[in-house]
């Protein structure tokens, strides 16, 4: 699997030390420390599929201070990577870490070794416990110099010969020698910016992360005029937020960075009420420019311009299923707003709960992102966000896509390939609700059926499936578990019952949720795959048994409840076929 591949890369190279295969020369106990030794080589041992090692070099200065040097990484490195050097002044009990960047910027922070650790001895070993880990340091206290590449645990006397964590050898002295080259002094701090240890850690991480801002504090509400683009999808301007469906849907054309497969990608959403008090369905989706008929036609014109399925109930369901020339939108995140977080916090002050300021949703989309950005036909995509509401203030939404590296090396062409395809099959989440798109209530009289085909022998083939039930009264499908049955070629292949029983954990997001005589809040109640203030996680179904190059039918059947006195149940389901070759 591709995920396994780049997780191996992460294990081997996410730290500043690149793993280099080196021979294990001698045991730590047998390494001789000659008089005047000033260069000490340590093997850092990583346990994985095989025992790999990387080299740490410690150089000792004439004044007794040391400089700890990780190896210089090989090959081309990813943007934002920095080289770190640690210098230790034993006389001042001072540790300085300096981060150097290719743009000549560098930052440093100073600290002291820990003094709060309780040590015990076992022969030559010094043993302590930190964060439930047992650490063993074998020190040669008779050595004429002080050298320890792990100074944070204390600037102990002598030379570290080996370090073991939880019974596994992690670091060992491989060589000690006297170098004829002059040793560098402690690093100059002139021109660098001094920061706190936590700030340096933040800077180093943030410079590695690729952030793509999609929406910035955008209002999603009812009452805004609809945008219109003459010329259709191809004429949508870049980096311009367009409002549709009375303002309840926002849309933007975005060029996503093309990054190699050793990145993981997440959608991050920040949402707060700007006047709407209710829990609302929300969706973030992508429209690809690769089909002849586009969901954007329904956004820009009217939902009735999309392919229509007429159910046995006589109702029209627009744009919900893939046809020969049409693909529904690809859903990235299904989320649900809580009851009024942010806007109504002050009104409910003194209730005994510290209300959060906003809702934060974070969901991985690596499998979809990789397929989109590796498709040579796609230079940009349309990204939309919808929150169903009829409130003039509505909601405020900020959205980023953040990409996190799993390795510091830029992969070569063969390693960086990501062959495959992504095909949206269905999406009944009616993001054009306020423009007239029907709810997904077809399951009361029909099942949802589409066709798909997968070429033979893919590396992986799966369906990414999101399902939530709705019907907000006691016996509505929102509050009654319903099994989603998935049939392939008319035979039951999978079943899934979306159900959340942890909704009470999010009470502090719901200041104006209905409160009852028994102490419960309506936001506490279990629901069909969602809670107010959460994102619904996709589930995956393995389709590799049907990867034979032939066409198959895919059917979703749900025992949807009957309408009661003008109220109805409905289901928002989306399915995306993901194939890797």
Tens-digit pLDDT profile for residues 501-531? 999 999 999 999 988 878 899 999 999 999 9
Q: For position 376, what pLDDT does the model report? A: 73
Q: How many angstroms separate the CA atoms of 308 and 333, rounded?
A: 24
Q: What pLDDT score does 51 carry?
A: 53
Instruction: Please give the Cα distance from 373 to 376 (Å, whole number).
Output: 8
Q: Give pLDDT, residue 20.
A: 31
d(CA 461, CA 577): 7
| Helix/strand/coil (H/E/C) assignment for every residue in 135-164 | EEEEEECCCCCCECCCHHHCCCCCEEEEEE
**Length in residues, the chain:** 581
Q: Which residue carries 């509400």 as its tokens?
A: 221
Tell me if 2 sits within 8 A of 366, measured CB to CB: no
Of 453, 539, 462, 464, nearest to 499 by C-alpha is 539
CATH 2.60.120.230 range(s) for the chain read 209-580
CB 37 within 8 A of CB 159: no
The CATH number assigned to the domain with range 2-205 reads 2.50.20
Helix (H, G, I), strand (E, B) or coil at 247: helix
- pLDDT tens-digit profile of 192-230? 889 998 999 999 999 999 999 999 999 999 999 999 999
Q: Is 314 left (phi over 0), alpha (psi -120 to 50) or beta?
A: left
Query: For the chain, where do the domains classified as CATH 2.50.20 start and end?
Result: 2-205
Nearest Cα neighbor of 492 from 555, 542, 450 is: 555
80-107 pLDDT, tens digit each: 999 889 999 988 888 999 998 888 788 8
CB 575 within 8 A of CB 554: yes
- At 147 the pLDDT is 94
Q: Quick check: 337 and 279 in contact, CB under 8 A?
A: yes
Report the chain (581 residues): mean pLDDT per 10 consecutive residues.
37 33 47 90 72 83 90 84 90 89 85 85 90 94 91 86 92 89 52 88 95 98 96 91 98 93 95 98 95 91 96 97 94 98 93 94 96 85 97 98 92 76 96 98 97 94 98 95 98 98 97 88 97 98 97 98 94 97 88
Q: How far apart are CA 346 and CA 332, in angstroms?
A: 33
CA atoms of 175 and 521, how far apart (whole Å): 66
19's tokens: 């793993």
Whole-number CA gyration radius for the chain = 29
Q: pTM for this structure? A: 0.88
Write the CATH number of the domain with boundaries 209-580: 2.60.120.230
């Amino acid at each position: 699997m591709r995920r396994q591949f780049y997780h191996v890369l992460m294990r081997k190279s996410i730290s500043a030390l690149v793993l280099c295969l080196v021979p294990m020369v001698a045991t730590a106990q047998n390494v001789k420390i000659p008089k005047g030794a000033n260069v000490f080589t340590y093997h850092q041992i990583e346990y994985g599929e095989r025992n790999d090692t990387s080299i740490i070099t410690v150089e000792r200065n004439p004044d007794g201070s040391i400089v700890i040097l990780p190896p210089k990484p090989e090959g081309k490195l990813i943007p934002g990577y920095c080289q770190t050097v640690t210098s230790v002044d034993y006389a001042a009990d001072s540790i300085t870490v300096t981060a150097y960047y290719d743009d000549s910027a560098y930052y440093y922070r100073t600290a002291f070794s820990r003094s709060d650790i309780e040590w015990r001895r076992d022969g030559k070993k010094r043993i302590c416990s930190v964060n439930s880990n047992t650490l063993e340091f074998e020190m040669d206290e008779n050595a004429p110099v002080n050298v320890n590449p792990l100074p944070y645990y204390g600037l102990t006397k002598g030379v570290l010969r080996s370090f073991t964590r939880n019974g596994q050898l992690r670091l060992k002295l491989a060589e000690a020698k006297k170098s004829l080259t002059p040793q560098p002094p402690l690093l100059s701090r002139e021109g660098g910016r001094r920061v706190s240890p936590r700030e340096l850690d933040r800077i180093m991480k943030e410079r590695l992360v690729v952030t793509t801002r999609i929406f910035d504090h955008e209002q999603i509400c009812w009452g805004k005029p609809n945008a219109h683009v003459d010329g259709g999808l191809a004429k949508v301007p870049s980096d311009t937020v367009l409002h549709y469906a009375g303002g309840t849907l926002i849309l933007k054309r975005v060029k996503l960075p093309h990054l190699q497969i050793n990145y993981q990608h997440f959608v991050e959403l920040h949402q707060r009420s700007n006047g709407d008090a209710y829990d609302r369905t929300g969706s973030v989706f992508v429209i690809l420019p690769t089909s002849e008929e586009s969901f954007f036609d329904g956004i820009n014109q009217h939902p009735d311009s999309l392919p229509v399925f007429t159910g046995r109930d006589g109702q029209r369901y627009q744009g919900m299923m893939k046809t020969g020339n049409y693909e529904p939108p690809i859903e990235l995140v299904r989320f649900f707003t809580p009851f009024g977080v942010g806007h109504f916090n002050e009104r409910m002050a003194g209730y005994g709960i510290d209300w959060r300021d906003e809702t934060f949703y974070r969901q991985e989309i690596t499998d979809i992102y990789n397929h989109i950005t590796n498709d040579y036909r796609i230079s940009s995509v349309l990204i939309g966000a919808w929150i169903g509401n009829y409130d003039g203030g509505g909601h405020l939404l900020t959205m980023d896509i953040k990409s996190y590296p799993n390795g510091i090396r830029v992969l070569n062409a063969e390693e960086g390939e990501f062959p495959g395809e992504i095909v949206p099959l269905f999406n009944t989440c009616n993001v054009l609700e306020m423009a007239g798109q029907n709810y997904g209530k077809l399951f009361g009289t029909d099942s949802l059926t589409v066709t798909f085909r997968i070429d033979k022998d893919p590396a992986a083939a799966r369906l990414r499936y999101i399902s939530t039930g709705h019907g907000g009264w006691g016996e509505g499908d929102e509050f009654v578990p319903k099994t989603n049955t998935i049939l392939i070629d008319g035979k039951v292949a999978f079943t899934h019952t979306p159900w959340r029983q942890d909704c009470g954990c999010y009470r502090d997001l719901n200041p104006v949720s209905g409160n009852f005589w028994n102490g419960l809040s309506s936001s506490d109640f279990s629901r069909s795959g969602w809670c107010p203030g959460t994102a619904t996680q996709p589930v995956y179904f393995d389709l590799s048994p049907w990867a034979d190059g032939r066409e198959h039918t895919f059917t979703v059947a749900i025992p949807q409840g009957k309408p009661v006195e003008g109220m109805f149940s409905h289901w928002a389901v989306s399915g995306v076929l993901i194939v890797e070759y």
